[in-house]
Chain A
C-alpha cells in the first residue's frame, strides 16, 4: 500500500520568507503527485500536479514543486510567502490509473504579517 509523509506539521514564517514543505511517498510504480491547499473555511483546491515530463512543475500563486524520483520526494516551494498563504497544505499521490488519492497528514502554514 502506498503512503505519504509530510514532515512538518506546523510551519510559521514571516512574510517574504522562503518556503519549502517536504513530502515523501512510498510506492515503487508510476505515480501521479499533487499538492492541495485548504484555506481557512474553504474547500480543498489543487495547487499543482505532476504526471510526467519536467520534474519541476509550476502551480498557481507562485508555488512550484520538484519531483525527485530517486528520493521519492515531491517538495513544495515558494520563494516569498505572503500572509494570504496561511493555510493547510496537503501532498497527495495516486498510482497508475487509480483515482484514489492517498494524502499526507498535512502541514499548517502560518505566515505572520
Chain B
C-alpha cells in the first residue's frame, strides 16, 4: 500500500508570493493533518481535515489555509509568503476509528527568499 505522498518535495519562492502544497493520504485514510517543522519551533500543528471539513486548527495566521477534496486528498496554501515561512511542511493521514495513529509523508521543503 502506498504511503502518504506529498508534492512537490522542494519549492523555492520569494517573499510575497503564494504557494500550494499537495498531500495524497494512504488509501482509505480520511483524516489529513498538516504540520510545520522548523529548527527553532519544532513540529507545530497547522490544521486537520476530515470528510472535506476542517476539524481543528493550530495557532497560525490566516495566511495559512487548506482544503480537502472528496477523494481525501488535501492541499495547503500559504499566501503572502514571509521569510519565516521557510520550513518543512509535513502531511499525516490516519484511519477513522484508529484513535490517533498518524502516518507521515516525506514533506515539502519550502524555502522563501
On A, residues with C-beta under 8 Å from B are 32, 34, 36, 42-46, 49, 51, 90, 92, 94, 98-106
Contacts and interface: CB of A to CB of B under 8 A. Distances in A.
Contact of B100 (A43, A99, A103, A104): A99
A63 B104 CA distance: 20
A100 B56 contact: yes
A34 B101 CA distance: 9
A32 B100 contact: yes
Contacts, number: 56
Contact of A49 (B44, B90, B92, B101): B101
Contacts of A90: 43
A87 to B, nearest CB: 14
B24 interface: no
Contacts of A94: 100
